[in-house]
A and B are shown apart, each in its own frame.
Chain A
């Protein structure tokens, strides 16, 4: 047993190449680094041609490393290491190119705010209220309150500035189904449809959208309020 430990098994050797192969690999890798560097610094090529060329050199560099340093393809059949590497390269391409392709189109079609509102409504999670949106990234201003009591809104009109917040509190024993817009026409405010506010609960909205807007209880006719958002 002891002899075996001190002399490494003979089948280690063929995997490690020779000094010559390492030197060749090293020199090639230096060349494939310096050439693209020179191309970029001296601005010999431009635009997409340059990008393609330097990526081409990176791929050459990869091949040099794989062949001369990682000694791939010299294992006995089946070449599992090589197969796994090739498959991985394919998947990396898929991840990177796929992401760029998809994200380019998504970016083209939907703004970040669109996306956020869509995600919020799709995921059915109401954590978006009360928090600053893109317009009010620097924080919110004053807070105004509308109390719902005895099926009336007090006060029934609020004048506020953009990025102030509005809290609607239900002090009645029954829930209020608060929606924006009127009974005849529901108009979402800043992407929000409204909320069913249970007894004792509240809803907070950040006033991002300018102009005068109304809100009402969709299940009864006499409860409504309006608010005006100024710049």
Chain B
């Protein structure tokens, strides 16, 4: 009897995981659509620069490449962290996600550096429609990275204190989905905002 109930409880848990995973996926899709609006707005308004320099005079392509590589690497380390979570290896989970966290933080730092340089030179989101669209698109991605870091930070603290239990593993799974998803969005920002400015 006891085993039977245990089995029921477990399948109940697994079903809940399946549902929540799917729901989170749908949420990611809605987020993608929000980004679609920002991309569309950027595409429509990007040439309305009204006197500020063209983007290819403004951007530093090596910086954008560095940001991209950092984010891709963090996506990879997050994946390794998930593998460790699958094995139930708490120390490795903390290590890999710790690295991911630091990479994310570096990315955010670089992005803020770029923004502050623009603002310092007098090119702000108030300057014209094109820069409004640029700051909003890239900034929204940065905001997502920030919330991802916040989430990762709390999750790591809980794992450190409570150990690697099932609900926390579920949270990590969703978090890694979120992180890979931000990677995908960034790849398109890199291509459409940065690379295409030079094309």
Considering only CB atoms, which chain B residue lies closest to A22 in the complex?
B79
Whether B86 contacts A65 by the Cβ 8 Å rule is no
List A34-51 residues whose CB lies under 8 Å from chain B: 36-37, 40-41, 47, 50-51
Q: Which of A9, A15, A47, A84 contacts B10 (CB 8 A)?
A: A9
- The chain B residue sitting closest to A19, CB to CB, is B83
Q: Mark B176-191, 1 if CB is under 8 A from A, else 0.
A: 0100110110011011
A77-96 contacts to B (CB < 8 Å): 80-81, 84-85, 87-88, 91-92, 95-96
Interface presence of A5 (CB below 8 A):
yes
A6 contacts across to B, CB distance below 8 A: 88, 163-165
Q: Given the complex, which residues of B lie within 8 Å of A100, measured CB to CB?
A: 40, 43-44
Q: How far is the CA of A7 from the CA of B10 in the complex (A)?
A: 11
Interface string of B33-73 (1 = CB under 8 A from A): 10011011101100000000000000001000100110011
A55 contacts B by Cβ under 8 Å = yes
Whether B86 contacts A4 by the Cβ 8 Å rule is no
Chain A contacts for B40, CB-based, 8 A: 95-96, 99-100
Across-interface contacts of B37 in A (CB, < 8 A):
95
Task: Give A9's nearest chain B residue, CB to CB.
Answer: B14
Q: Which residues of B contact A80 (CB under 8 A)?
A: 22, 25
What CA separation (Å) do A36 and B167 show in the bound complex?
41
Docked Cα-Cα span, A23 to B80, in Å, equals 9
Q: How far is the CA of A15 from the CA of B174 in the complex (A)?
A: 12
Chain A CB within 10 Å, residue with most, of B14, B17, B86, B164: B86
Tell me whether A154 is interfacial, beta carbon within 8 Å: no
Docked CA distance A15–B40 (Å): 33
What secondary structure prevails in chain A residues at the interface with B? helix
Known contacts A69-B180, A80-B22; A96/B187 CB under 8 A: no
- How many angstroms between the C-alpha atoms of A26 and B68 in the bound complex? 12
Query: Provided the pairs A8-B85, A26-B76, A99-B40 are in contact, do residues A65 and B183 lie with their beta carbons within 8 angstroms?
Result: yes
A173 within 8 A of B: no
Across the interface, B61 reaches (CB within 8 A) one of A7, A13, A37, namely: A37
Q: Which residues of B contact A (CB under 8 A)?
A: 6, 9-10, 13-14, 17, 22, 25-26, 29, 32-33, 36-37, 39-41, 43-44, 61, 65, 68-69, 72-73, 75-76, 79-80, 82-83, 85-86, 88, 163-167, 169, 173, 177, 180-181, 183-184, 187-188, 190-192, 195-196, 198-199
